[in-house]
Amino acid sequence: MAILLDGKKTASELNETTRKRILKLKQCGIVPGLAVVIVGEDQASQRYVRNKHKLALKLGMNSVIKEVPASITEAQLLALITELNQDTTIQAILVQDPLPKHINEQRIMQSISSTKDVDGFTAVNVGQLYLNLTGNYPVACTPKGIMTLLEKYDIFLRGKKAVVIGRSAIVGKPMAALLVNAGASVSILHRYTTEIAEYTRDADLIISATGVLRLLGAEAVKPGAVIVDVGQNLDETGHLVGDVDFNAVKDKVAAITPVPGGVGPMTIATLMQQTVDLTEWGLANGK
């Protein structure tokens, strides 16, 4: 049986560190503030946002949820972001993805101040990641959380063949950048890739972020590979599962993230970590 990359445990350790950092800030009269904007009624999004809010409060932050109807106009949403950009009690802003079709998602994400962009989605922060600049900037929470998890389990990346399946701005692209920066050779696969298994069979590390149930089975992975499953899918019995057929590959690979309890908790813990990062960086810059 492969080593389980336990995101729940690792996230809980990271959250404890974050809680202590918040305590220190509070002793100086500073309370990190996170604002999450949720548009519409998507059930999964509502659940994720509730979990973020609960954890932020538990760790001692100021947590604000801005819930707006799916009928909101782009101009109204931009006005809300402007308000949050100017709010001195808020250090971190997140707009929950996905947004309704009538709203230009990039226009909204790019309107967030880069110094409050806790998701690392703005062009300034993406650029810093791609240039592998040293210094202080936020990175998309899921890929950054995955890197923390890989580091925790001493997964060596330099010179390894990595395959990232999915090219989203939230996971695939920043994940690939982080892996390249860490010295891995990276292939990014996507919906137009014709033979996914041709790449994955040769990979030392596979990161799958597609939302396709049982995309990868035992025949698609190399013995001893490391598998990171970002998928959040419901199977035929209504259970939450990833993209990878866990039972089929678990005795072939070296390490694998479970779903649930793998990448998901790391995403939320990284959001908390980066809210505190932004607060501290803001203080260092006199804000």
The number of beta carbons lying within 10 Å of the beta carbon of residue 250 is 16
Instruction: Give the residue among 174, 182, 227 at the shortest CA–CA distance from 200.
Output: 227
**158 annotated as belonging to a binding site for a ligand:** no
Closest separation between CB of residue 265 and ligand LMY7XDAE, Å?
5
Q: Of 23, 79, 240, 283, which lies in the binding site for ligand LMY7XDAE, with binding defined by CB under 6 A?
A: 240
Distance, in Å, from the CA atom of 25 to the CA atom of 152, rounded to the nearest integer, reads 26
Residue type at 155?
Answer: I
Closest separation between CB of residue 94 and ligand LMY7XDAE, Å?
5
Residues 266-285 that bind ligand LMY7XDAE (CB under 6 A): 267-268
Joined together, the tokens standing for residue 48 give 């994720």
Residues 147-206 that bind ligand LMY7XDAE (CB under 6 A): 170
**Would you count residue 92 as binding ligand LMY7XDAE (CB under 6 A)?**
no
Closest separation between CB of residue 142 and ligand LMY7XDAE, Å?
5
* Catalytic (active site) residue 52: yes
Q: Of 259, 269, 272, 276, which lies in the binding site for ligand LMY7XDAE, with binding defined by CB under 6 A?
A: 259
Q: Are 141 and 274 in contact (CB under 8 A)?
A: yes
Residue type at 228?
Answer: V
Distance, in Å, from the CA atom of 27 to the CA atom of 78, rounded to the nearest integer, reads 34
Q: Kindly tell me which of 161 and 167 has the beta carbon lying closer to ligand LMY7XDAE.
A: 167
Site string for ligand LMY7XDAE, 96-125 (x = CB under 6 A): xx---------------------x------
Strands (E), the chain: 3-4, 33-39, 62-68, 92-95, 161-165, 185-189, 205-208, 226-229, 233-234, 240-241, 255-256
Residues at the interface with ligand LMY7XDAE (CB under 6 A):
47-48, 94-97, 119, 141-142, 170, 232, 240, 259-261, 264-265, 267-268
